[in-house]
Amino acid sequence: MDPRGIVIVGAGECGARAAFALREQAYAGPVTLIGAERHLPYERPPLSKDGMTAGTDNIRTIADTARFEAAGIVLRLASEAVSIDRAARSVELGDGTQVPYEKLLLATGARPRRLPLAEGSQHCLYLRTHDDAGKIAGRLRPGARIVIVGGGFIGLELAAASRGRGCSVIVLEALPRLLTRAVPQDISAVIADAHRTNGVDIRCGAAIGSIADIDAGVEVRLADGSVLGADLCIIGIGAVPNTELAEAAGLAVENGIRVDERLRTSDPAIFAAGDCCSFPLPIHGGRRVRLEAWRNAQEQGNLAARNMLGANAPHDTVPWFWSDQYHLTLQIAGLPDEGTHTVRRDLDDGAFLLFHLTGDGRLVAASGIGPGNSIARDIRLAEMLIAGRATPAAEKLAAANIKLKSLLAA
């Protein structure tokens, strides 16, 4: 066994999952997990939800120190990887330490996309880390005026959380509707109605002219001349993959660190997984995508571990994503934009599903929204139909009295 072992850069969901998966695959060599944050690896999805209401000291760790020690995983927290020497197979840390590897996994994640107009402001914040969540949550007091730039998932989840803390909230979205790139119009409309019902001021087609700190707050001036005063401006306009380490090492980059369907980079000793990488999806004809999703991070962490040990298995799962806002849960399986037409199935309590099909009738995605877990089972069944490349009859998809399980059996 090579004494250099396996090194993982990035101690988030993907990196931590990969470290434990190596042990589950009976790998007995050294495993080193390097993380830039000071915290133990933790779950990120709650940051924009429970993290805003459960107190800034609350953190949902993936595993405690004892479990890492029991698994023989060496944790190097508050350590930034600054370069990779591919010839020597070594990672250099910020303090000059060299960490040798036999195989290397880059799970470096992504960071918030910056808004140039907000640079230098003391009252404009972004959300990515637990420390970010603490800074935002500490300013969500009853009566606080919050402006959120960006009507995507992060912005809307923070809008819901801010309303739950008694803040007044304005959401500014540059495009004509919320979640334009993520969900169909029908679901976007339900989300917008829910926010407005809960007192959020939604402004679509809003262009920002300037942002400036004033006194103890911030002034957001729109292109139409209107001025919004706020105590805090939260910016959620997307994420950028952390590829700098890979680029400096000469690895191929294409909307993320470019990997093949087995998560191998252009260097056979280096793999990449999670938010930082772009990869081909066999279920969608080899289309190259980059997914910022909790389950994808888990799945790819597991797969990278297996493939670093020689499994040579492809990533062949169906993309899946969810968001909780107020009493509603939204779920998406597959890639809706692959479909050419949509079939709707209405359920109880206002819930509904949208099935996205190609011209030849193949089901390529399903999206849905409803209270609580009302759509969860059907989305899971739809996911299985997508994975099976099924071509169910449109009229059966639309009929709520025909169970999706029967279509799966067929």
Statement to judge: residues 224 and 303 lie in one domain: no
Give the residues across from 272 on adjacent strands. Answer: 106
Residue 319 belongs to some domain of the structure: no
Choosing from 235, 270, 286, the residue where a domain stops is 235
Statement to judge: residues 295 and 204 lie in one domain: no
Residue 150 belongs to some domain of the structure: yes
Q: Cα–Cα distance between 209 and 228 in angstroms, integer?
A: 11
**Which residues are within 8 A (CB) of 386 and not within 5 positions of it... i.e. 6 or more apart?**
283, 318, 333, 334, 363, 364, 365, 366
Give me 158's structure tokens.
């923070």
Statement to judge: residues 16 and 98 lie in one domain: yes
Query: How many structural domains comprise the chain?
Result: 3
Statement to judge: residues 158 and 216 lie in one domain: yes
Express each pLDDT in 300-342 by its tens digit. Answer: 999 999 999 999 999 999 999 999 999 999 999 999 999 999 9
Choosing from 212, 235, 258, the residue where a domain stops is 235
Kindly report the CATH number assigned to the domain that includes residue 196.
Answer: 3.50.50.60
Statement to judge: residues 127 and 38 lie in one domain: no
Statement to judge: residues 91 and 144 lie in one domain: no
- Of 121, 132, 138, whose CA–CA distance to 218 is shortest? 121
Choosing from 308, 341, 364, the residue where a domain stops is 308
Residue 221 belongs to some domain of the structure: yes
Q: Cα–Cα distance between 383 and 333 in angstroms, integer?
A: 6
Task: Cite the beta strand spans of 10-80 per DSSP E.
Answer: 31-34, 73-76
Residue 185 belongs to some domain of the structure: yes
Long-range contacts of 215-219 (CB under 8 A, 24+ apart): 217/123, 217/145, 218/121, 218/123, 218/124, 218/147
Give me 381's structure tokens.
């069944």
The gap between the terminal CA atoms of the chain, to the nearest Å, is 48
Statement to judge: residues 163 and 264 lie in one domain: no
**Which residues are within 8 A (CB) of 285 and not within 5 positions of it... i.e. 6 or more apart?**
none
Residue 384 belongs to some domain of the structure: yes
Statement to judge: residues 121 and 220 lie in one domain: yes
State the residue range of the domain holding 332: 327-409
Statement to judge: residues 127 and 56 lie in one domain: no
Contact 219, 88 (CB under 8 A): no
Statement to judge: residues 35 and 184 lie in one domain: no
Instruction: Please give the DSSP secondary-structure letter assigned to residue 219.
Output: E
φ/ψ (deg, to 5) at 344: -105, 140
- The pTM score is 0.94
Statement to judge: residues 96 and 161 lie in one domain: no
Q: Cα–Cα distance between 7 and 187 in angstroms, integer?
A: 42
Q: What is the pLDDT along the chain (410 residues), one digit of tens a residue?
A: 678 999 999 999 999 999 999 999 999 999 999 999 999 999 999 999 877 765 556 788 999 999 999 999 999 999 999 999 999 999 999 999 999 999 999 999 999 999 999 999 999 999 999 999 999 999 999 999 999 999 999 999 999 999 999 999 999 999 999 999 889 999 999 999 999 999 999 999 999 999 999 988 999 999 999 999 999 999 999 999 999 999 999 999 999 999 999 999 999 999 999 999 999 999 899 999 999 999 999 999 999 999 999 999 999 999 999 999 999 999 999 999 999 999 999 999 999 999 999 999 999 999 999 999 999 999 999 999 999 999 999 999 999 999 999 998 87
Statement to judge: residues 72 and 120 lie in one domain: no
Kindly report the CATH number assigned to the domain that includes residue 358.
Answer: 3.30.390.30
